[in-house]
Amino acid sequence: MSKLSQVVIGLLLITVGYVLGASQSFQSTKLHAQQNSGTPTEETEDKIKRGAKELVEAQSALEQENFMRPATKGLNSFAVTCGGVNAMDDLEAGNGVDPETFAGLYAGLAKPDIAAQLGRDDQGRITYKNKIVRMYPVSRLKKLFATRLKYTGEIQDEESSF
């Protein structure tokens, strides 16, 4: 086969591949991993609701046993699954808060007595009593995740640390 015919066949194959790809003629009209409505199935929603109800009950028990003092309204699933955190003392100490409290403060979900002490600095960061609110240091987060393993039974992947 001559060089010219090899080039022509190569260009023909590229053209056919491009046309087939662009036309999406071999593509399924509905991807199986996607749902039409863009929301979880009813079965999954029921599981979420049952899980949330259990977490709310666990948070209430942790609060009654003084293992948890949230600074935000609603459920703090991170703190619950770690056995509780004292977000009120954490804010007062200025040493950081758990990730869900941090997000809740930025989302405007602070409890009223906390909200009265919140502000923003010139860079838009949330402050509590004029101290920047930060997330826990990595060392504390690692300890909390290790504690959470006790309750969730998850297997810790040693290779996931950086």
Question: Within a domain: residue 141?
Answer: yes
Question: Within a domain: residue 69?
Answer: yes
Over residues 75-106, the pLDDT tens digits come to 999 999 999 999 999 999 999 999 999 999 99
Over residues 122-135, the pLDDT tens digits come to 999 999 999 999 99
Question: Within a domain: residue 55?
Answer: yes
Question: Within a domain: residue 99?
Answer: yes
> Total structural domains in the chain?
1
Question: Within a domain: residue 144?
Answer: yes
Question: Within a domain: residue 130?
Answer: yes
What does the pLDDT read at residue 62?
97
Q: Is 20 helix (H, G, I), strand (E, B) or coil?
A: helix
Question: Within a domain: residue 10?
Answer: no
Q: Mean per-residue pLDDT for 38-58? A: 94
How far apart (Å, rounded) are the C-alpha atoms in residues 118 and 113? 9
Question: Within a domain: residue 56?
Answer: yes
Give residue 61's domain range: 47-149
